[in-house]
Structure 1
Amino acid sequence: MVIRKHDETYYCDTPVKLLKYGTTEEMRSCLERYRLATSDREPDVAGGLEVPSHE
């Protein structure tokens, strides 16, 4: 999976499909929905998203 931003659009490339989002909040919701990040900590430089460890 690749997450990128071009102009004002966020892209999430998966092996199955390309997802597009127009806002940071939409992208955050997607990451949280697929359990790729959580937003339960104080915001940081990366916009408050934390990638969970897979230990």
Structure 2
Amino acid sequence: MRRQTFSTCRPLVFAEREDQVSSFLSSFLYMFILGLEVRSVVMYNISCNATYPERQEK
């Protein structure tokens, strides 16, 4: 019963902004995955620098 009332009483503003919200969520998901890749690369570089410091290279 609650689901039916929610679907019928859903505001029109939300229905109008569904396309905008979906596009925003897709772009946010893309940026989130991109950020995870960048963070993994940065963490990999930090771990390499921690195991092999630049001082030893000199």
TM-score (norm 2): 0.23
Larger RCO (alpha carbons 8 Å, 6+ apart): 1
Higher helix share: 2
Larger Rg: 2
TM-score (norm 1): 0.24
Higher strand share: 1
